[in-house]
Structure 1
């Protein structure tokens, strides 16, 4: 794959030297904030392909979608302890530095949203606008346990049709709104074909980081980190059937942040497909409003 598919591949070195990968869409686009896309726990940059094409062609933005270490085309790490959001946030900053990106709008799905919270503590100036996709400062333990349940043991389907059937069987109850094309895109984003059949495109050790999870115990929250993002325009998207981001947490986010928009996506769970329905246009519109307001504020200050 490459530029003929609407993107180019970009490889760079993590602070510890590990080879990491990102896709760049609309590389020649300028004049607007670039968009940085951060995927979920075991997901890759491929999750954002359709949305990135839209933002790079229709909204004329440069889009960078990252693969974390151990996912997609990034190298696997021998040390399981390095699969944590602190190190992964540092990897993202290294990638932005390699691309000479000093500020951007960010989209974080699930784990990607947690990394954005960390980036707000490490480098707040880099965050110009934020889209949280089905993630907030409170993670419901049963939602994380649900993710653990379908990742272990990892399925190894022999055919592409088996991949699609398996995903529909596992996730169908939470995603009744999806059509055949949606499930096929999910399959192509999650799996890679090998001589052993189709394998999930991530290091199996990533799943081991969830070992010991007790769904009866609440997880540490990130409200202090969330509150530190008070000056950053924010859009929060929640799947109506989500087990990870509760409606109560979404409402509390709304009350604690003065510049927040929210969308609840009917017929989808964790996490909504950002290329479906009118979500691409609403995300593009949110970024446009945030950037226009920022430009006016800077102009008034000067």
Structure 2
């Protein structure tokens, strides 16, 4: 059973959920809120204290200044604040998608607080050989949002990321967006997508620091933009990516299989002193 809490921060509030007991494990996304991680968190709570949350400005985590950008560095500091509030000196961390970029920033900014960090499919476009082209594509997506709205921007984003249109992968049509959906879409396109994809991982610090950094990649993610970003980052770190079940959202598609791989990764790399 998840316990729900809200932490007041210097510039807003962080909604978070806590399950289980034992060593701390944080699951974080961006722009995903806590909900897609619920099934995975339930499975892992048998052996760990699992912390999920809505990232700053998304869902149930409002900001005092809604116009403030959401950078990986600010989101990393939020994770440290959550650990402080919950009384944990250290934790392991799984970040997926934009949350994987948060995790990479946290490993550099708060190395004493983290043991193993798993960065699952980070969209770190700056590590790609065609980074300038990808930067321009991201700028075009953001411009599409401001000119044509969220639906057009999501279609452009999905096409650039390599996701098939809904009618081609069997998904049901998306329901009419709620007011919260519209607010979250605005946060993503206007204040989060740019800072997240422009983050340049500090490879030297990640390689030399005390945090064990593992790059995760979905077994079904071939053809997605996060396939080459994950492989390039892993190569820069001198490792290979660990393959997880499913695709970009494998933690929600196959939570049991994803949990098995994650347990194996974490068991191989206990927190370092």
TM range (shorter): 0.7 to 0.9
Change (3 A) 1:132 1:150: farther
Residue 272 of structure 1 aligns with which residue? 250
What is the distance in 2 between the residues matched to 1:219 and 1:193? 28
| 8 A Cα contact 1:192 1:201, kept in partner | no
Deviation of 1:86 after TM superposition, in Å, equals 2.2
Residue 46 of structure 1 aligns with which residue? 35
TM-score normalised over the length of structure 2: 0.73
| 8 A Cα contact 2:124 2:200, kept in partner | yes
| 8 A Cα contact 2:124 2:198, kept in partner | no
Change (3 A) 1:242 1:265: farther
Residue 245 (1) aligns with residue 234 (2): no
Residue 227 (1) aligns with residue 222 (2): no
CA RMSD in angstroms, aligned pairs only: 3.7
| 8 A Cα contact 1:192 1:200, kept in partner | no
SS at match of 2:212: coil
- Higher helix content, 1 or 2: 2
| 8 A Cα contact 2:5 2:16, kept in partner | yes
What is the distance in 1 between the residues matched to 2:145 and 2:265? 33
Change (3 A) 1:258 1:92: same
Give unmatched runs, 5+ long, in structure 1.
1-5, 156-167
Aligned pair count reads 248
Deviation of 1:76 after TM superposition, in Å, equals 3.8
Change (3 A) 1:171 1:109: farther
| 8 A Cα contact 1:9 1:21, kept in partner | yes
TM-score normalised over the length of structure 1: 0.67
| 8 A Cα contact 1:130 1:232, kept in partner | yes
Change (3 A) 1:111 1:169: closer
